[in-house]
Structure 1
């Protein structure tokens, strides 16, 4: 039987110094968020496992998440952080690749002053090459069509292993820029080694009300672009709590995915994540 996987969760022991991005209006996040809190939510949603994704730019994050994965076997994989600009990035990546459950790396591109410049930087390209040589996944985090625009060309240059677009590229749901976002999403999806996380959408809704139809319209665009073979469900817990709880996020995607065949739903809810991040079927409960 296929594993059902929440492919995007975060854990932390909160301190203002370590998580400066948790600013005004994010009181729901500014406390410890650990696996004991979310495991019952996974059970309620019928999910077997999760993938823990970095939330701070430090290799200490890797140690923290891997220790949690050792303590909680339902954390099936870790997407951590390595300075891909560093001259010794290859050595650092080789070390982390040797650690059980370390499956990928993410850099917070959305916070860079010039995303296109980062993606074109020769040092960053060297780091990506070293990462893909070691069969590690790279999670791409950008916000909106302007930042998404250079991603397709970047992905085309780095095609030796899986790349994963987080949160559909963070479209402004209910805001401006939907047509450019759709165009750039299709450009990225044209590359067969790129997958896309159906995650992080509730926090991108512009209005005060969560418009399920608008969210489903964006999920339709992702399905049209990537197909069911390259979509991964992720809750983005606990960041989703800024707008909705885990059950509500899961329900939004479950209701939308009812149109898919049983095989397509199995891919969305776990098979694609397991294939991409190398998750074994024997994850313990």
Structure 2
């Protein structure tokens, strides 16, 4: 089974998606499984992981309902308020659904990432995530925020942690050496996995720099190895810079030098192991 490990669905309402700012008009519409299915098929992919796009438990209901009606959705990464005293109860409630695989908190939007990661309430929430065998996905932007993550991961090592979008490096911009250093610090921890996803929207220049993207993929491969990397399209957000076919082809072209087994891990094996997907 070949898996797109990171994409989104939504029924668009302005109040629900305030992060869709200037220049994101094309995202302001419904994006649903019927839109994605032909793109997956054309790219030779069999399933996807649907990841939350808003901080509300209603998102869990929406995505899990889609998963019940569309077999292409192999797992859901949802949202729970990890600061809440009843976070463990809420996680257990959603965990009862067989396709609820984990949660994420939008760290990249927090005013002080270090303060969030050091908050004992948040720590208890993440501990509850791992205690229940759920995946916690880490969303940070750039080297400065990524610097706070290795120590956090070292404190939470009971289950998989997944770094989204390679930590959102400024591709073609500043901070590449620092980003690589922190990426290697994360990769030294065997319970941390990494998504080769969301890269086209992190390119700093007006045109996509394929060489710079390949250089960042090379760095991720060197740090994590193919068996701890997974492909993700970040569709439909990727459409701000490239269509689905172009995103998949770019990663495939880069991955052609890998062995057959390494490619199998990148294109689904790692995701199946992480999210406990059978098939």
When normalised by structure 2's length, the TM-score is: 1.00
Match of 1:167 among 150, 165, 171: 165
CA distance in 2: counterparts of 1:115 and 1:238, whole angstroms? 26
CA distance in 1: counterparts of 2:64 and 2:278, whole angstroms? 16
Match of 1:40 in 2: 38
1:172-211 equivalence runs, <5 A: 172-211=170-209
Shift of residue 206, structure 1, vs aligned partner: 0.6
Shift of residue 209, structure 1, vs aligned partner: 1.1
CA distance in 2: counterparts of 1:105 and 1:174, whole angstroms? 30
1:1-285 equivalence runs, <5 A: 3-281=1-279
Q: Provide Cα deviations, 1:51-83, integer angstroms capped at 9, x if missing partner.
A: 000000000000000000001011000000000
Where 1:28 maps in the other structure, the secondary structure is: helix
CA distance in 1: counterparts of 2:206 and 2:128, whole angstroms? 43
Matched pairs, number: 279
CA distance in 2: counterparts of 1:245 and 1:147, whole angstroms? 28
Where 1:197 maps in the other structure, the secondary structure is: strand
CA distance in 2: counterparts of 1:120 and 1:276, whole angstroms? 26
Please identify runs of 4+ aligned residues in structure 1 that moved more than 6 A.
none
Q: For structure 2, list consecutive stretches of 5 or more residues without a partner in the other structure.
A: none
CA distance in 1: counterparts of 2:276 and 2:63, whole angstroms? 17
Q: For structure 1, list consecutive stretches of 5 or more residues without a partner in the other structure.
A: none
